[in-house]
């Protein structure tokens, strides 16, 4: 990453990264086939117990790729605000940008075989995507669930490296940052107020995960 002021690493910003992964539920899985050709697959995931899980069919292109090469990259990102060029420059287009959070996980995919772990991961999915309940808890000892657990593939990503990029104007000088924050507040799009608050939070001159 060239702009280190935007970097959130797994040491200093682990809680920030884990909070973001827990908030989100959709990402992109990068795999390589037997011939080395890359592929991206959009899918739902759950971050549970410090690991990332996804599920799907036991057969198909995705599973064939994981069997050929378990090394994967997984990306999660959320765009918070488009920052127009005229927020900081009345003439030039160059300052136009976007503020966002992204996390990249490089690691290895492991097909989960243990029914108890599969059940726990799928239950975590349900709690995340259907928090209102309305279903019987997924339990590996439940005879109603056992055949379904056998029929579904659950994959865990064991990370080797986790990095994050949270871009919220950390490279701006304070007067410019204050101006952008004020214009976001005035514009009032759905995520503008949250973006302005995050700009203050990740300001390199304030105490936080990016230093004092």
73-107: pLDDT as tens digits: 999 999 999 999 999 999 999 999 999 999 999 99
CB-based contacts of 173, cutoff 8 Å, min separation 6:
none
pTM comes to 0.86
Q: Please give the average per-residue pLDDT across 149-165, as a whole number.
A: 95
Q: What is the helix (H) or strand (E) element at residue 118, kind and residue range?
A: helix 115-129
Q: Please give the average per-residue pLDDT across 165-194, as a whole number.
A: 96
State how beta strands 7-9 and 153-167 pair.
Answer: antiparallel
């Amino acid at each position: 990453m060239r702009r280190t002021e935007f970097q959130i690493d797994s040491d200093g910003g682990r809680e920030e990264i884990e909070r973001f992964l827990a908030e989100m539920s959709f990402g992109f899985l990068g795999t390589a086939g037997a011939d080395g050709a890359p592929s991206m697959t959009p899918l739902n995931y759950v971050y549970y117990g410090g690991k990332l899980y996804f599920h799907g069919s036991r057969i198909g292109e995705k599973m064939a790729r994981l069997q050929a090469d378990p090394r994967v990259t997984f990306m999660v990102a959320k765009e918070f605000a488009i920052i127009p060029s005229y927020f900081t420059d009345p003439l030039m287009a160059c300052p136009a940008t976007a503020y966002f959070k992204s996390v990249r996980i490089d690691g290895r995919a492991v097909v989960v075989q243990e029914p108890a772990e599969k059940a726990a991961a799928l239950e975590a999915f349900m709690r995340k995507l259907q928090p209102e309940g309305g279903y019987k808890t997924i339990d590996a000892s439940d005879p109603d669930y056992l055949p379904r657990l056998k029929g579904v593939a659950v994959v865990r990503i064991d990370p080797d490296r986790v990095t994050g990029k949270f871009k919220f104007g950390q490279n701006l000088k304070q007067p410019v940052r204050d101006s952008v924050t004020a214009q976001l507040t005035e514009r009032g799009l759905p995520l503008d107020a949250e973006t302005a608050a995050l700009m203050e939070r990740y300001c390199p001159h304030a105490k936080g995960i990016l230093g004092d």
